[in-house]
Amino acid sequence: MNNLTLAALAVALMTSTSMAQTPPVKAPWDQAFLPPAPQWQGASQALIRDKSDPWVTAFEADPEHDFSPNYVDTRKWFDRLDAASDLIRIEQFGVSPQGRPIYAVIVSKDGAKLDPKKPVLLAQAGIHPGEIDGKDAGMMLVRDIAFNGKSGLLDKVNLILIPILSVDGHERAGAYSRPNQRGPRIQGWRNTATNQNLNRDFLKLDQPEMQALKSLHNRYKPDLYVDIHVTDGMDYQYDVTYGYNGEDGVWSRSPAIAKWLDATFKPAMNKSLAAEGHIPGELVFGIDEQNPKAGLSDGGLGERFSNGWGSAAHVPTILIENHSLKPHAQRVLGTYVFLETAMKLLAEKGGDLRKAIDADSALRPAEVLANFVADDKPTTSRDFKGILYETYDSPASGRSEVRWLGKPDPKPWALPFYGSHAGLTLKRPVAYWVPSYRADLIERLALHGVKMEALSQPKTVSVEMLRLDAPKIATVANEGHVQISVKTVTKEARDWLFPTGSVRVPTDQPLGDLAILLLEPQSSESFFAWGMVPEVLSRVEYIEPYAIAPLAEKMLADDPKLKAEFEAKLAAEPKFAADPDARLAWFYRRTPFYDDHYLLYPIARELAR
Ligand SMILES: [Zn+2]
């Protein structure tokens, strides 16, 4: 029920009886509490079809353009379109944990097999189902390509639209999913049925939705991948913000792609959006909720996110974040313009983008930067189109809070901009060796499309193995994992026997950087960091004091160097000297009885010889 209906009901109750009635108390969540949005009129409003159109979408038909259809109705509409147009084909590419088919809409003039010479735009909506603008925009655009004179968009480009990626989350729908977002009035839920955030799963590939997405990626190799979201966070004038790793010439794993996006894509895209009445902006994040002018950051997005993965995998990837305080209709229309313009740009300039993809795919950096963290100091300043605000003392929070006023500040803000820097530099080995008994990890590498050589018989290989120094187990769960971090490692040269089915993962391949980020235990995006190799943290076997004590005494008598080392430690560390068990453990670690596999990371590096 909306506010108007509630008010009408209250009036009806008041007038229909002679008894004095208390009007129903509106709960805080049924009242408007979001800051106002500036009035918006844009040329793109002309894209909305009338209710009388047989192909009107549910979004368009809604009088307030504040509605997005559910999973079943969306699929019915696309099936009807598929039956009516040769340009449309539905392709199921996965099944969700709750059993819903996950599908893409292939929009092409090529028939069953897409012409590999044509660039492919992959537009994905609903990885966060409450942020569903891409579905409603995609339905309109696909319909207009099929019936309303826009089929020419397909002459040189193919479009693949995923209307809803997180289909289960999409159906956990209600009016109370996204408190910071202005519509649609019924929204899906951010996480999946298994309470996972799919936009954290681009590297570890835990979830069926993401495994399915990855196989779709590998099948169609999109030239441009657009992941469509809606923001949270601060207010500003921009309605369509978007970004990519390497924007504005900052460091990227795919510099040639970033350059194409900076120099070719962005100026043309922004011009097109502005011509249709939209206000495009860069994807940035305020660093202080209480002080909007404190500065902006790039968000430090790693490889678990779409744009981080895209940069590492050399897949041009744009993260759209439409602004949550702008009405749903304004955001949907901006997304339509974005997608249509992206198709035109791929048609005109897609050849140059392919060259950039090839150039980046050929990179084999000797050092791979990882574990990006926010800079302490701003690196540059950005002009920013701000919204006026005031502050007030909130009796609820007990501090000063921001009140956004919904009016554009005519003066541009100059805001300090905080970038990110690598917290870890990794050397590129020739290859990695993954033992056969970690078939689960091998399977994930294969899903990524990483090329591997499997052993058909056991083989002893000279490798560098890593002994983990004091790994730390996280105290809270994250994305269904208990994460483990390790700051330092000790290298050990070993001849190690790898069983049949073990794989060699060469780093001399386009996905070499990605393999390094996944397989180095210190990388914060690695399988190890997600807690997927916890078995190395358990030490097995022990020695009784009655056995180790005489053995230790004999070691002291036989080895003067060891004796000197022990005595120095006793003198330097009184706590150690006062702990009999610690003293005996010190000797045990120096015997061949000690568990050699303890803290020995089972994935090995092959180095150049
Ligand atoms: Zn999102």
Calculate how far, in angstroms, residue 284's C-alpha sits from the geometric centre of ligand 1: 14
Q: Residue 102 carries which DSSP code?
A: E
Q: Residue 199 carries which DSSP code?
A: G
Calculate how far, in angstroms, residue 304's C-alpha sits from the geometric centre of ligand 1: 13
Calculate how far, in angstroms, residue 130's C-alpha sits from the geometric centre of ligand 1: 8
Give, to the nearest 10 degrees, the angle between helix 560-572 and helix 545-558: 110
The confidence score (pLDDT) of residue 26 equals 73
Calculate how far, in angstroms, residue 294's C-alpha sits from the geometric centre of ligand 1: 24
Q: Helix-strand-coil percent breakdown of the chain, rounded to 5?
A: 35, 25, 45
Calculate how far, in angstroms, residue 324's C-alpha sits from the geometric centre of ligand 1: 10
Cα 230 from chain centroid? 13
Calculate how far, in angstroms, residue 197's C-alpha sits from the geometric centre of ligand 1: 9
Calculate how far, in angstroms, residue 199's C-alpha sits from the geometric centre of ligand 1: 7
Calculate how far, in angstroms, residue 194's C-alpha sits from the geometric centre of ligand 1: 17
Calculate how far, in angstroms, residue 495's C-alpha sits from the geometric centre of ligand 1: 47
Calculate how far, in angstroms, residue 128's C-alpha sits from the geometric centre of ligand 1: 5
Closest C-alpha among 420, 529, 423 to residue 478: 529
Calculate how far, in angstroms, residue 132's C-alpha sits from the geometric centre of ligand 1: 9
The confidence score (pLDDT) of residue 281 equals 97
Nearest-angstrom CA–CA distance, 578 and 248: 59
Question: Exposed, middle or buried: residue 325 (CB in 10 Å: 0-12, 13-18, 19+)?
Answer: buried
- Please report how many Cα atoms fall inside a 13 Å half-sphere around the Cα of residue 303, on the Cβ side: 31
Name the strand (E) or helix (H) holding 271: helix 266-275
Q: What are phi and psi of 445, to 5 degrees?
A: -60, -40
Question: Exposed, middle or buried: residue 553 (CB in 10 Å: 0-12, 13-18, 19+)?
Answer: exposed
Question: Exposed, middle or buried: residue 19 (CB in 10 Å: 0-12, 13-18, 19+)?
Answer: exposed
The confidence score (pLDDT) of residue 17 equals 45
Calculate how far, in angstroms, residue 546's C-alpha sits from the geometric centre of ligand 1: 60
The confidence score (pLDDT) of residue 175 equals 94
Calculate how far, in angstroms, residue 319's C-alpha sits from the geometric centre of ligand 1: 9
Q: Which residues pair with 496 in a beta bridge?
A: 461
Q: What are phi and psi of 407, to 5 degrees?
A: -115, 130
- Residue 368, SS3? strand
Calculate how far, in angstroms, residue 230's C-alpha sits from the geometric centre of ligand 1: 6
Calculate how far, in angstroms, residue 340's C-alpha sits from the geometric centre of ligand 1: 21
Calculate how far, in angstroms, residue 234's C-alpha sits from the geometric centre of ligand 1: 15
The confidence score (pLDDT) of residue 540 equals 95
Beta-carbon contacts of 492 under 8 Å, excluding residues fewer than 6 positions away, are 464, 465, 466, 467, 600
Nearest-angstrom CA–CA distance, 503 and 498: 9
The confidence score (pLDDT) of residue 25 equals 75
Calculate how far, in angstroms, residue 228's C-alpha sits from the geometric centre of ligand 1: 8
Nearest-angstrom CA–CA distance, 481 and 420: 25
Calculate how far, in angstroms, residue 192's C-alpha sits from the geometric centre of ligand 1: 13
Calculate how far, in angstroms, residue 471's C-alpha sits from the geometric centre of ligand 1: 32
Calculate how far, in angstroms, residue 229's C-alpha sits from the geometric centre of ligand 1: 4
Inter-residue contact 80 to 86 (CB < 8 Å): no
Give, to the nearest 10 degrees, the angle between helix 266-275 and helix 328-361: 170
Calculate how far, in angstroms, residue 131's C-alpha sits from the geometric centre of ligand 1: 6
The per-residue DSSP string of 11-70 comes to HHHHHS-SS--PPPPPPGGGS--SPPPPP---GGGGGPPPTTSTT--HHHHSTTS-----
Calculate how far, in angstroms, residue 95's C-alpha sits from the geometric centre of ligand 1: 21
The confidence score (pLDDT) of residue 3 equals 44
Binned average pLDDT, 10 residues per bin, the chain of 609 residues: 44 47 73 90 97 97 97 98 98 98 98 96 98 98 98 98 98 95 96 97 98 98 98 95 94 97 98 98 94 91 94 98 97 98 98 98 98 93 96 96 96 96 97 98 98 98 98 97 98 98 98 98 98 97 97 97 98 98 97 97 95
The confidence score (pLDDT) of residue 5 equals 46
